Amino acid sequence: MQVKANAKLNLTLDILGTRADGYHELRMVMQSVTLHDLLTVEIGTGEGLRLSTNRSFLPSDQRNLAAAAALCFSEETGIDLGGVSIRIQKEIPVCAGLAGGSSDAAAVLRALNVLTGAELSPERLARIGQQVGSDVPYCVHGGTALAEGRGEMLTPLAPLPFCWIVLCKPGFPIATPELFRRADGVRLRRRPDTAGLIAALEAGDLEGAARRLYNVFEDVLPPRKAAEIAAIKSALLGHGALGASMSGSGPTVFGVFRSEEAARRAWEDLAGVYRETFLTQSV
């Protein structure tokens, strides 16, 4: 069975504080886009758990969230999969703030739900996914949603009006734990207008939503990385993006466009500098 795993964007990301369990309390508006990985999932192979990808540096054991999801599904449902094969054709950049691994895990859960005839509700699949990773519950559902807690508390929202989106991943890594530590050590200067963005979504106002894109992690980036993120945002806005922001813990930057022509120009311009640049659409 083949199944798509769509990338996600953070239209907003806010850190509300640190929880008693050591995790951070988050408030985010999440959005799926058409950029996706393609997974082929088979059960009854008689060969245990086998996972392969077109990216040789990715783990093929349960350190890969897709494999962890298959094991968790079997444990939680009590269903013997009789061996499972997972092949992942990666298109979503790795370690990019786009939930590629979490989306792969969610796709495996959806596929196994069909292949085994388990007929679990999306809510039950999301609860299983929560054990695999904080973004997996959202990725099970997809679309446009408010995510709270660690990201597992989801409220469906009015959809983002159709738009073109350019994604650009600069060539440096950003460690998520480091960003959280930096955020813990400063007073954040700016907060996203999450309520205003939700109101814009309800009104079907793309421009109003795009004006309210914001990610507090941009406030705590190391100076050189912050400068490059700002330069990519400026390039996107210069090509006519209605708004631009960093997704997740980065480093991917995205711009929202109403015009396909303007989006294509931005994509072509940035792709000449950054190898991992993509033209995609809202879901």
Catalytic residues: 8, 135
Instruction: Judge whether 100 is annotated as a binding position.
Output: yes
Q: Is there a binding annotation on residue 98?
A: yes
Query: Is 96 labelled a binding residue?
Result: yes
CA distance 180 to 186: 10
**CA distance from start to end of the chain:** 22
- Whether 94 has a binding-site annotation, put simply, is yes
The CA–CA distances, whole Å, from 245 to 44, 261, 275 equal 44, 20, 19
| Sign of the CA dihedral with 103 first, then 104, 107, and 108 last | negative
* Residue 102 assigned to a binding site: yes
Give the other-Cβ count within 10 Å of 141's Cβ. Answer: 19
For residue 95, say whether it is annotated as part of any ligand binding site.
yes
Has 238 been labeled as part of a binding site?
no
Q: Residue 147 in contact with residue 30, Cβ under 8 Å? A: yes
Residue 266 and residue 257 in contact, taking contact as beta carbons nearer than 8 Å:
yes
Residue 101 annotated as lining a ligand binding site: yes
- Residue ranges at the known binding site for ATP: 93-103
- Residue ranges at the known binding site: 93-103
